[in-house]
């Protein structure tokens, strides 16, 4: 693969003012259970090279999984440049050194399909003990990835990555009552993937959800669990802090850099350099070093995130957020969004609520005006709080509001942050009043 990528770069450099080669080898082994039974075991391998060129100031692109014909790949990329956007990129000129991110684990590589089946079966069996009417889906997978980026200016970088993940979904139907609970975890290292935590979380929420209780339509105090935060509240920030949308004037933060727009306790970071986290890497898909970017600092809009082209449009530098696949050119995307923990425990949040709602899972919350910060979602899994304690699960309930306004007057931020999906590290968030509505 490396030899082929070098051939492509050498050939492309003869026909283009600038060229960049992105090479990936990825092997995935997913093991899935459906309705309590093992359904599939398979191995998928992807190998390919993507080429981006600049010819007469315009960008061309082509990709291929054929590793025996570098000339055709170069010709295809050069031919598309006449239709491409004008390049505004500041081309990387240095090789990104390896970083101590602990992204690769030989134990993940050696993990067998039989061992993965045993992990999945263990999760299914553990949860099914809570009732024969529970149907479980489980997913255990491993990925082994090798990435290399090189360009004709001498810039680039490479890294290897392993990912092992486990997901568990429990479904229970009783008459017209449908209950879904799901949890997942992922890591770069096998020893730090704790499926007991996943099983415990699903089991605990099944117990809490046994009793269905009513809740009234009103403005009520609401706590979002870390999963609830990730599912419901962070999409508007991913959009509004995207440098391309800021440059286009579509973001509500455009023209507000440095302004205080949130509670001073609220800090939000994008971080591509967290050890043992699958979304980390020493460089992005363009060979730019990743970094920790303070997007919101002490309630102020502090920075936006960029890839090379959008940074050129904005007249600034890339933040190392150029993400891509083999079949597409880079685009600005987050690595891992992290909210700085506060000082209040989850138990203290509950104790402060005479009547309220805890939201863990939502559906459709991102169907509103995301750029404006609006959210309105069905509470897929949520619990009523009464006198400082959880008293049961709510049904037919919606929660809505504006996340940007809500974070301007937040009640409390949890004192510990939790990883959700390997992409978000967030604490519990407590809001004194949000709109809660029910059909009950």
Mean pLDDT confidence for 276-283: 97
Output the DSSP codes for 309-346.
HHHHHHTS---S-EE--TTS--EE--S-EEEPP-SB-H
Domain spans, the chain? 2-207, 211-440
Mean pLDDT confidence for 137-156: 97
Q: Give the whole-angstrom CA distance, residue 370 versus residue 377.
A: 12
Q: Give the whole-angstrom CA distance, residue 399 versus residue 229.
A: 13
At 1, the pLDDT band (50, 70, 90 cuts) reads low
pLDDT at 437: 96
Mean pLDDT confidence for 93-112: 95
Mean pLDDT confidence for 72-88: 96
pLDDT at 188: 97
Confidence check: pLDDT of 283 > 80? yes
Q: Give the whole-angstrom CA distance, residue 235 versus residue 245.
A: 14
Q: How far is CA 94 from CA 97, 152, 229, 315, 421, in A?
A: 9, 11, 38, 20, 32
pLDDT at 138: 97
Mean pLDDT confidence for 10-33: 97
402, two tokens? 């504006």
Closest CA to 136 of 77, 187, 198: 198
Closest CA to 180 of 375, 367, 388, 378: 378
Q: Which CATH class is domain 2-207?
A: alpha beta
Q: Give the whole-angstrom CA distance, residue 398 versus residue 103.
A: 39
Runs of H (alpha helix) within 352-418: 403-406
Q: At what angle do helices 113-128 and 195-208 cross, to 10 degrees?
A: 20
pLDDT at 98: 86
pLDDT at 369: 85
pTM score, two decimals? 0.94
323-350 pLDDT per residue, tens: 999 999 999 999 999 999 999 999 999 9
At 173, the pLDDT band (50, 70, 90 cuts) reads very high
At 99, the pLDDT band (50, 70, 90 cuts) reads confident
Q: Give the whole-angstrom CA distance, residue 323 versus residue 335.
A: 9
Mean pLDDT confidence for 29-35: 97
pLDDT at 338: 98
Closest CA to 313 of 236, 235, 254: 254
Report the mean per-residue pLDDT for the chain: 95
224-236 pLDDT per residue, tens: 999 999 999 999 9
Question: Dihedral sign, CA of 258, 264, 266, 267?
Answer: positive
125, two tokens? 């069996």
The pLDDT > 70 percentage for the chain reads: 99
197-245 pLDDT per residue, tens: 999 999 999 999 999 999 999 999 999 999 999 999 999 999 999 999 9
Confidence check: pLDDT of 365 > 80? no
């Amino acid at each position: 693969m490396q030899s082929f990528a070098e051939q492509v770069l050498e050939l492309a450099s003869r026909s283009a003012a600038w060229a960049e080669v992105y090479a990936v080898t990825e092997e995935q082994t997913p093991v899935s259970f459906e309705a309590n039974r093992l359904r599939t075991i398979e191995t998928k391998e992807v190998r390919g090279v993507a080429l981006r060129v600049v010819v007469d100031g315009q960008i061309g692109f082509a990709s291929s999984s054929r590793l025996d014909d570098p000339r055709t790949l170069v010709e295809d990329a050069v031919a598309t440049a006449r239709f491409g956007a004008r390049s505004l990129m500041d081309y990387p000129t240095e090789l990104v050194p390896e970083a101590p991110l602990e992204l690769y684990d030989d134990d993940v590589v050696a993990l067998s399909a039989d061992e993965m089946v045993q992990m999945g079966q263990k999760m299914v069996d553990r949860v099914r003990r809570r009732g024969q009417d529970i149907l479980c889906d489980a997913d255990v997978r491993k990925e082994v990835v090798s990435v290399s980026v090189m360009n004709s200016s001498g810039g680039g970088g490479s890294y290897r990555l392993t990912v092992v993940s486990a997901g568990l979904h429990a479904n229970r139907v009783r008459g017209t009552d449908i209950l879904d609970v799901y949890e997942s975890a992922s890591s770069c290292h096998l020893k730090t993937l704790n499926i007991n935590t996943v099983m415990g979380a699903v089991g605990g929420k099944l117990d809490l959800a046994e009793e269905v209780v009513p809740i009234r339509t009103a403005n009520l105090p609401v706590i979002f669990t870390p999963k609830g935060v990730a599912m419901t509240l962070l999409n508007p920030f991913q959009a509004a802090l995207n440098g391309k949308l800021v440059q286009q004037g579509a973001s509500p933060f455009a023209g507000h850099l440095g302004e205080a727009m949130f509670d001073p306790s609220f800090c939000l970071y994008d971080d591509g350099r967290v050890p043992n986290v699958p979304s980390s890497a020493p460089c992005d898909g363009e060979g730019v070093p990743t970094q920790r970017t303070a997007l919101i600092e002490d309630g102020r809009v502090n920075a936006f995130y960029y890839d090379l082209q959008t940074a050129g449009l904005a007249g600034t530098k890339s933040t190392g957020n150029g993400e891509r696949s083999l079949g597409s050119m880079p685009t600005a995307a987050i690595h891992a969004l992290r909210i700085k923990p506060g000082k209040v425990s989850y138990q203290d949040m509950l104790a402060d609520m005479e009547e309220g709602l805890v939201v863990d899972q939502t559906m459709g919350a991102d169907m509103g005006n995301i750029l404006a910060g609006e959210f309105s979602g069905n509470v897929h899994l949520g619990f009523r709080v009464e006198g400082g304690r959880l008293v049961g699960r709510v049904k037919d309930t919606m929660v809505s509001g504006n996340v940007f306004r809500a974070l301007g007057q937040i009640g409390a931020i949890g004192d510990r942050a939790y990883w959700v999906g390997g992409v978000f590290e967030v604490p519990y968030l407590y809001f004194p009043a949000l709109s809660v509505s029910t059909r009950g």
